[in-house]
Amino acid sequence: MTIRIRSALMALGASAAVSLSSLGAAPVQAAVELDKPECLAPAKPGGGYDLTCRLAATSLQQTGILKKPMAVNYMPGGIGAVAYNHVIGVRDDDPNLIVAASTGAALNLAEGKFGKYDGSEVRWLGAVATDYGAIVVREDAPWQSLDELMEDLKQNPGKVVFGAGGTVGSQDWMKAALTAKAADIDPRKLRYVAFEGGGESLAALLGNHIQVFTGDLSEIESQLKGGKVRVLAALSDERQGGAFADVPTAKEQGYDVEWPIWRGYYMGGKVSDEAYQTWLDKFTQLVKTDQFKQARQARGLFPFTKLGPEFDAYVKERIAHFNQLAKEMGLAK
Amino acid sequence: MFDFLIHGFGVALTPLNLMLAFTGALLGTLFGALPGIGPINGIAILMPLAYSLGLPAESALILLAGIYTGAEYGGRISSILLNVPGDAGAVMTALDGNPLARKGLAGPALGLSAVSSFIGATISIIGLTLFAPLLASFAVNFGPAEYFALMIFAFSSLSVMMGKDPIKTLIGAVLGVMLATVGVDAGTGVMRFTGGLPELYDGIDFVVLVIGMFAISEILLMLEHLGSDSGRLAPIGRVLVKVKEVLFCKGAILRSSLFGFIIGVLPGTGASVASAVSYTTEKRISDREGTFGEGDMRGLAAPEAANNASAVGSFVPMLTLGIPGSGTTAILLGALMLYNIDPGPMLFSEQPRVVGGLIASLYIGNIMLLLLNLPLAGLFARVLTMPRWLLVPGIALLSFVGVYQLHSDLMAIFLMLAVGIMGYVLRKFGFSLAPIVLGFVLGGLMEQNLRRALAMSGGDYGVLFGSGLAIGLWCAALTVIVIPMVFSGWRRLKASAAR
């Protein structure tokens, strides 16, 4: 509790310093001193948001781009809505704070799960890495390609059971629904089982309780190397390297489905341009370093860099697009 | 075949790794004892440290695994002394542990639970060493239908807790099940009973529920009695556990270790289910005099053996399949990835140094934990001599800080207080809290798995009896319910015949 109060006081001090410096004759945008950098993961430890924060925290420190170590805090709840509300309501102008975000946050905003908010309330800072959706089956499954699976599905939509770690309407479900939709199959006819997280879903796939797992490339890499699963399609724009060199994209097979799970950050809506620019400069510098590239790869993630206004526009375009999709599928008003 | 273990001991016995195992054990005990900070958060706090110290993969894993197993030891301390479970697996420990402490047997209770923790963990580590690959296929065969049947079995075992007041136990369990329905419905994505509060979308957090229910209501009860006996110190009594007492519990410990290990191996269930199932089973088997719940040594030993066995068991799917067996092993898997080690089906063959080192360090860490926890029992027991005016704010502080560091959110604190007041009122009306917590844990799992099974089958209930495993569990549940009825009928018949 005392820590929180102190950081709030410091934030006050920092913003006072900023306004003082902007009063003075300093036409050049002065960099804001980040005296207490913090990354907020809107989830419990151990998940994707934790990973996103740690990726920034460790590599920003290793490269010396941030002088002070960045704290990683957790605020689980409401699939990210609690943290989103908190930032808007309490730390709207905190120059030290960045919050981990992902494709899932954009989807939730689009589906109205963050209440009245639509994504315009915060400043989207940038994405630095991505994962890609994957259509995964057991190595002894009858389907060798996405085509074969889709053919079977068309014959009998209830025969094949899909499963993944998210609820109906989540991005794991979206991957299955969009793939089905690309083959003119009604997504609502899919048999979809929601598990708690990728680990449980993978266990269900290996135990043949579900036949298709709509997971992410990074979480099935070791199973693929171990020969336990077959990846029918990567939901990426082009083929990925390494263990996935032989995995075709859905696009290659004639299904226009992509699902990148970008890993990025947002800041409060009222942070100063100077603070936003300071973080932007740091991330622009970071993504070019070898240490960062190694750290990204070690976490099983792929390159994906969109920073500043480009990212802000991208996220807002995605939210509008997802909102359209959700309406078509009867998930949002 | 056991080359990896011999190599492993070579790795684990280096001075650095021994020191790390000890540090992990000590910190883990501490994290476990503090309500709110469980193994997950303990590891999340220390993982970046291990990484930035530049520790090699096996050393980092030894430290983090030490924290995990240590936390399962530590959770019992606050359960026994304060009636406030230190972590999820220690809820059942309070049932008989706290009455023992109130009788002046805090020292022996802490000692006995340390010994049964040790035995549970040891049996589980041996099981892990010998049968890990074999058990992996068992774990994945357990699908939604089997989990549902397991939950039915667990619920039917709950019937033994009915004891003095069956209606109140039933109401408590139903209340727990109802609380578990709050939050997003995974099957449809619809929000249930959230009142539009995003804080409730993910449901009520287990830690918030347990701390509110136990700690806050305990504080309120203590405050109520503050005026009457504030000067009185609780008796400590003797400090050491007797060999005779351990031998008295040997059946309970061995059975519970086995249960705990098997339930730990299953990816969908953890220490809380393991300790609940073994406590209720043990009560059914051994509680002939009705002393369970009033400070029976066996009722303390059973859940402690089980939760430690279950923690070790959750390493089985992690090491053999690359699938986490619990929330904590999920974080450990993440730690491995940072070292560019693919935790997966190839781990045993590709990384014998890491796997062997880890398993060897579990053996060593477990011995360290016993040696650490036995002499400390007397020291910990002295907590009870603290006057209430110091103890009450102490527990309050720990509860508030624990919940706040988990959620960084005031709403969680308010929820904890609300649950606490509810717990206090229920206790005033003579309700026991354990059935509520169990209803919450088991009910959530039961509903999820029923929904999953039906989603798989397209609504056909036949899927629930679709495998030998599921049918076996249904039979077990039936037996648990029917046999006591038959027995009591038989006894009544005999009694009337004698008359």
Q: Is residue A75 part of a domain?
A: yes
Give me the mean pLDDT over the B301-321 stretch: 93
Q: Which of A322, A132, B133 lies closest to A331, judged by CA?
A: A322
Check whether residue A167 and residue A226 sit in a common domain: yes
Q: Which domain covers residue A65, as residue numbers?
A: 36-131+260-328
Residue A206 to residue B337, Cβ atoms within 8 A: no
The predicted-structure confidence for B179-190, as pLDDT tens digits, reads as follows: 999 998 888 888
Mean of per-residue pLDDT scores for chain A: 88
Query: What residue in B sits closest to A111 (Cα-Cα)?
Result: B189
Instruction: Let me know whether A294 and A268 are in one domain.
Output: yes
A28 domain residue, yes or no: no
User: In terms of domains, do A230 and A302 share one?
Assistant: no
3-state secondary structure chain A: CHHHHHHHHHHHHHHHHHHHHHHCCCCCCCCCCCCCCEEEECCCCCCHHHHHHHHHHHHHHHCCCCCCCCEEEECCCHHHHHHHHHHHHCCCCCCCEEEEEEHHHHHHHHCCCCCCCCCCCCEEEEEEEEEEEEEEEECCCCCCCHHHHHHHHHHCCCCCEEEECCCCCCHHHHHHHHHHHHCCCCHHHCEEEECCHHHHHHHHHHCCCCCEEEEEHHHHHHHHHCCCEEEEEECCCCCCCHHHCCCCECCCCCCCCCCEEEEEEEECCCCCHHHHHHHHHHHHHHCCCHHHHHHHHHCCCEEEEEECHHHHHHHHHHHHHHHHHHHHCCCCC
In a domain, residue A60? The reply is: yes
- CB–CB contact A167 B187 (8 Å): yes
Percent over 70 (pLDDT), chain B: 96
Residues 111-150 of A with CB under 8 A from B: 113-115
Instruction: Among B39-43, B197-201, B229-233, B428-432, name the one with the lowest average pLDDT.
Output: B229-233
pLDDT of residue B394: 87
B132 CA: distance to closest CA in chain A (Å): 15
Lowest mean pLDDT among A38-42, A213-217, B315-319: B315-319
Closest CA to A131 of A158, A92, A104, A149: A104
For residue A150, what are its two tokens?
Answer: 């889709």
Exposed / middle / buried, residue B289 (Cβ in 10 Å: 0-12, 13-18, 19+): exposed
Inside any domain, residue A6? no
Q: Is A99 part of a structural domain of the chain?
A: yes
Residues B99 and B295 sit within 8 Å (Cβ to Cβ): yes
> How close does chain B come to A323, measured CA to CA in Å?
16
Same domain, A154 and A127: no
Mutate to test the interface with B, among A62, A171, A209 (most CBs of B within 10 A): A209
Mutation target vs A (from B201, B269, B446; most A CBs, 10 A cutoff): B201
Q: Which two tokens stand for residue B244?
A: 């005779």
User: Average pLDDT of B282-300?
Assistant: 88
Q: Are residues A104 and A160 in the same domain?
A: no
- The contacts of residue B137 (CB under 8 Å, 6+ apart) are none
Provide the domain count of chain A.
2
CA nearest to B466 within chain A: A209
Of B48, B187, B342, the CB nearest to A58: B48
Q: A154 and A238, same structural domain?
A: yes
Give pLDDT, residue B235.
Answer: 64
Measured distance CA(A316)–CA(B90) in Å, rounded:
46
**Among the listed residues B223, B120, B204, B261, the one whose alpha carbon sits nearest the alpha carbon of residue B437:** B204
| Shared-domain flag, residues A142 and A224 | yes
Query: Residue A198 — very low, low, confident or very high, per pLDDT cuts 50/70/90?
Result: confident
Q: What CATH number is attached to the domain comprising A138?
A: 3.40.190.10
Question: According to the model, what pLDDT value does residue B287 have?
Answer: 81
A29 within domain boundaries: no
Residues of chain A with C-beta less than 8 angstroms from the C-beta of B455: 161, 191-194
Is A136 in the same domain as A227?
A: yes
Residue in the block written with tokens 């709207």: A92
Poorest-pLDDT segment among A4-18, B182-196, B228-242, B385-399: A4-18
Which of A23-27, A116-120, A256-260, B293-297 shows the lowest mean pLDDT across its residues?
A: A23-27
Whether A169 and chain B come into contact, CB under 8 Å, resolves to: yes
| A312 and A166 share one domain | no
- The verdict on A75 touching B (C-beta cutoff 8 Å) is yes
Contact criterion met (CB below 8 Å) for A176 and A163: no
Subunit contact B409:A77, Cβ cutoff 8 A: yes
- Shortest Cα distance, chain A CAs vs residue B330, angstroms: 7
ipTM: 0.87
Q: Could you tell me if A240 and A136 lie in one domain?
A: yes
**Residue A291 within a domain:** yes
Mean pLDDT, rounded, for B439-454: 92
Reported pTM: 0.87
Which one-letter amino acid corresponds to residue B370? Answer: L
Q: Which residue has the higher pLDDT, B445 or B383?
A: B445
**Chain A / chain B CB contacts < 8 angstroms:** 166
Q: Which of A78, A191, A197 sits opposite B455 (nearest CB)?
A: A191
pLDDT in tens, A3-29: 444 444 444 444 444 444 444 444 445
Domain parsing of chain B, residue ranges: 3-498
**Identity of the residue in A54, A86, A114 whose CB atom sits nearest the CB atom of B409:** A86
The reply to whether A143 and A232 lie within a common domain is yes
CATH of residue A76's domain is 3.40.190.150
The residue that leads in pLDDT, B281 or B4, is: B281
Q: Examine the domain organization and report whether A65 and A103 are in the same domain.
A: yes
